[in-house]
Amino acid sequence: MKNQLYTLLSGILLSIYSFTTVAQNTEILFSHPEITGISNAVVFNNEIHFVVGMDPQAGFPGYPDPSAKFEKLILRNETGEVFPYESEAVAAGPAHADLQLTPEGNLAFVYQAPSGTSYGFRMPYKVWDGQALLTDELVFPNANWGAWGRIGYDNNDVPHVLSFAHAGYALFEHTRPDGNWSSSQITGYSTSVGNLSLASSNGYFYLLGSYVSASPYQARLYSDESGSWEYEVIDTDIDRTSDIAFSNDGILHALYNTAEGSLKLAKKANGVWESEIVWMEEGITSRASLFFDEANTPYIAFQTADLLKVIQYDGMEWVEVYRHEGLTSPGGAFHPTLLVQGDQLIVIYNDENNVYKGTVGPITSTQAVKQGPAFAIYPNPARDRITVELAASSPSMAFRIVDASGREVSRLAIEDSSNRRVLDISALPAGLYWVLPDKGMSFRPGKFVKME
């Protein structure tokens, strides 16, 4: 009776939810044969603005590696090109650009541009009111300090730009309290930190970055909360850091990709970092985006080589709420952005030919699209054995069993002739484990708890 009921329910779920493509609310904002990536996106004057990179070229005067790729960067909105960052030169990487609204409501942006005469990069800071440039300055004179610029404003509305320096490999803070830019060093030299994300609260800054001078890589948080810049290690054995954000209850959250390909979300409550895997997906290639709505519901957007997903925590589990399949692998890095336009949750993302705007849904009533799973796990929790059972309509499937850190601990396969498999878990330590369909399977993972 149990098996008959399970088969009936699983069949219904699969027929409704499996292999669902949720890209009907998508429009193309920009097309080009060679898009290398986009920056973050912001809403300014009721339109979405972003920086897009295109037309990769090899090298520029003075750069020692003639095979290095640099591209033209363009600031665009939903209706067309605003203006090119550089009229004649090319710049490096839209991921190094940042767009933010100033306290006065104008659009500020920084980006990485080559010095043109020597090895290194400069970083212009510009402010635009929708009609003209109000500010057009260099953040610093040293041409080697121009990577991963991130903009923030303190309680006195003074701009701060946090960046990584190619010269000496260190993090720097640049600010202009008296109208002139000055720089101070955050970390010692030979400290390679990339994939920077910045959040601020009560006038303090919180900078999340991938520390790659260690093996394995670390997720580090740099903050001036104590009055001087200090760092703490959130996690180790990561692939890259993705995003940082405060939820509406004031809790700081850090999102990062593990070396095994999962997404981990950490939060700092009562001075202690707690982290958990929120999603496992084969081939995540992007820095993911984290967003909290007014009800404190978290959303995450990420991409693989051919797929974009937005997932949401529905109070019990993470579920998919938006999907776009069939993307073409870009020449540059994926960097989707979640933001609100009007009362709609929007995701901005790209592949190698297009920049897309996807409408996930009303921010107050986004509906979750469930995908299955196409299998059941029981008993759960379990002490000695679990049974993994396929729905009647499922094909043969192979699975990986991974622990909470993303490390593979076992594998199993289920053939058409037998739709279930018993797995001995008695030797596993107590904790949470994920059951992941192998490559090519587009079903949501399952999980179980191993008891002592």
Same domain, 9 and 36: no
Q: How far apart are CA 209 and CA 247, in angstroms?
A: 19
Structure tokens at 37: 């990536």
Structure tokens at 286: 């992007």
Same domain, 308 and 343: yes
Same domain, 340 and 406: no
Same domain, 301 and 397: no
* CATH number of the domain where residue 409 is located: 2.60.40.3080
- Interacting residues of 342 by C-beta distance below 8 A, sequence separation 6+: none
Q: How far apart are CA 366 and CA 384, in angstroms?
A: 39
Give the residue from 329, 362, 395 where a domain finishes. Answer: 362
Same domain, 31 and 10: no
Same domain, 329 and 420: no
pLDDT of residue 371: 44
Question: Quick check: 339 and 48 in contact, CB under 8 A?
Answer: yes
pLDDT digits (tens, 9 = 90+) for 433-449: 878 776 544 455 677 88
Q: How far apart are CA 392 and CA 10, in angstroms?
A: 8
Structure tokens at 77: 């909105």
First and final C-alpha spacing in the chain: 30
Same domain, 24 and 147: yes
Q: Any idea how long the chain is?
A: 452
pLDDT of residue 66: 57
Has residue 275 been placed in a domain?
yes
Has residue 299 been placed in a domain?
yes
Has residue 367 been placed in a domain?
no
C-beta atoms surrounding 217 within 10 Å:
24
Same domain, 6 and 74: no
Give the residue from 335, 362, 389 where a domain finishes. Answer: 362
Same domain, 321 and 412: no
Q: How far apart are CA 39 and CA 48, in angstroms?
A: 12
Structure tokens at 227: 């009055």
pLDDT of residue 263: 93
DSSP SS3 for 2: helix
Same domain, 400 and 350: no
Instruction: For the chain, list residues with pLDDT below 70.
Output: 1-24, 57-70, 84-92, 114-120, 140-146, 166-168, 330-333, 364-374, 391-396, 404-406, 415-418, 438-445
Exposure string of 238-270, with b = 16+ CB inside 10 Å and e = fewer, is bbbbbbbbeeeeeebbbbbbbebbbbbbbebee
Question: Quick check: 113 and 86 in contact, CB under 8 A?
Answer: yes
* CATH number of the domain where residue 42 is located: 2.120.10.10
Has residue 57 been placed in a domain?
yes
Beta strand extents in 318-416 (DSSP E only): 318-325, 337-341, 344-350, 354-362, 375-378, 385-390, 397-403, 408-414
What does the radius of gyration of the chain's CA atoms come to, in whole angstroms? 23
Has residue 65 been placed in a domain?
yes
What's the whole-model pTM score? 0.78
Same domain, 356 and 382: no
The residue range of the domain holding 403 is 2-16+372-450
Total number of domains in the chain: 2
Give the residue from 362, 381, 407 where a domain finishes. Answer: 362
Same domain, 187 and 318: yes
pLDDT of residue 191: 77
